[in-house]
Amino acid sequence: MSLTLFFWILVVFYSLYLLVELGLDVLNLKHIDKHKNQIPVLFRESISNEDYQKSIAYTKSKTYFHMCHLLYQTALLWLCATLSVFFIVDQWLVNLIKLPFLAGVLYPFAIGALFYLLNLPFSIYGQFVLEEKFGFNKMSAALFMSDQVKTIIISLVLGLPLIALLLWIINLAGENWWIWGFLSFMVFQLLTTALFPVLIVPIFYKFSPLPEGELKEKLTNLASRLNFKMAGVFTIDGSKRSTHSNAFFAGFGKARRIVLFDTLVKNLTTAEITSVIAHEIGHNIKKHIQQSFILSSIVMLFGFWMLSLCLKWPQFYETFHIATLSMHIGLVLFVLFASVFTFPLSPLFNAISRKNEYEADAFSIRSLNDKENMVSSLIKLSKDNLSNLTPHPWYSFFHYTHPTTLERAKAIEHLKS
């Protein structure tokens, strides 16, 4: 790599990124070991010592896996940059395709395919060794491969037109192309969000209307009482892939669906699920979704502006042994290395997310006047997912989008019903 100013900036930021990521992992591991012989008071009646030790083992295994993968990805990126892999792939495509614009559109997918294949062993290990070891994996090899193929096809169907549009805008819209590029991506994001529950999720999961009964009645009545417009309550067959539990809303306005994983319906009581859904409705009523969208839009707009500067900065290309300015190569390099510069923002955005979680918990409590089932649902989810019950405060501050179960239970306890 050329020793340009950008090279040294990249080295400094990447070193800080690795130092923070690995340092927090080590700090968290030591904190877990420090508390491994004593179950936190909140969990003592619900979680056995055997389950507690299993959650510790799972957290440590995931942490070691993350550290190894992070170091591997770092070595891979810098090796590709040093050996001019990004330039070599571009030349190979140009010689193969002969049409410069089409070669440019295909370039991000060629690099994506390369990194996908080089990271595939980690995906396989994570699913069929790590998750299997702790009883979470329910996915067969055939289903895994099917999901991979479907994901690749969807990425191509959605991604090719988007990249083609962006490169067209860069070539024709002049100095202010980044504004039009940003607007195009915003429209794309809104469309995919709207289409996600209708077209994309059913490709992977089977949607089933929640059967008539007490749970459906309670959730429907809750939504009606809170004036929450929705298209219905559905379950999906998450258990054919994993025993992890989840629930979410998908879609906009009247097209919104309450979606429950079948594992959640199986493991939680009706009252506990109602508390969880009231929490999710709280996010909508409190407009947390809109807030997150606005914040992410601001970051994306800033990102497009920074991209526009990098794409016309010769040192940016020289650092990676690219002799001439190339929009499609610059776009890929920017995406690959941007997270190294934005990682200091993570604590800020996660702090906002944790604040929203507290507010949604409070909304659930005040809507149902039910602290007990909200807390018990959190404890069950922590137990079933083998969550880390004693994360280091600095680790959770930097990485957690949700407060810990202990923090949420304490906040709920201090709420006035």
As a whole number of angstroms, the distance between CA 387 and CA 47 comes to 12
Residue 125 pLDDT > 80, yes or no?
Answer: yes
Q: What pLDDT does residue 4 have?
A: 77
Query: Is residue 240 within 8 Å of residue 138, measured between CB atoms?
Result: yes
365's tokens: 């409590």
Catalytic status, residue 372: no
The reported pLDDT for the residue numbered 379 is 94
Is the pLDDT at 251 greater than 70? The verdict is: no
Residue 373 has pLDDT above 60, yes or no: yes
Q: Is 209 exposed, middle or buried (0-12, 13-18, 19+ CB in 10 A)?
A: exposed
- Averaged over 67-93, what is the pLDDT? 94
Residue from 280, 357, 370, 384 carrying the catalytic annotation: 280
Chain centroid to CA 13: 22
Phi, psi of 144 (to 5 degrees): -60, -50
Angular region, 224: left φ>0, alpha ψ -120 to 50, beta rest: alpha
Neighbours of 17 (CB within 10 A): 19
Can you tell me whether residue 392 is helix, strand or coil? coil
Residue 206 — pLDDT band, cuts 50, 70, 90? confident
Q: From CA 31, how far away is CA 11, in angstroms rounded?
A: 30
- pLDDT given for residue 253 in this prediction: 66
Summarised one tens digit per residue, pLDDT across range 159-198 is: 999 999 999 999 998 889 999 999 999 999 888 877 777 7
Judged against a pLDDT cut of 60, whether residue 152 lies above it is answered with: yes
Cα separation, 77 vs 320, whole angstroms? 11
Task: Give the list of residues 6+ apart from residue 307 with CB closer than 8 angstroms, or none.
Answer: 178, 181, 330, 331, 334
Return d(Cα 196, Cα 184) in angstroms, integer: 18
Which one of the listed residues 21, 90, 131, 361 is annotated catalytic? 361
Element housing 381 (H / E): helix 371-384
* Catalytic residue status for 45: no
Place of tokens 């909304």: 363
Q: Kindly give the interhelix angle for 371-384 and 346-368, rounded to the nearest 10 degrees.
A: 130
Q: Per-residue DSSP letters for 322-362?
A: --S--HHHHHHHHHHHHHHHHGGGHHHHHHHHHHHHHHHHH
| Residue 193 confidence (pLDDT) | 79
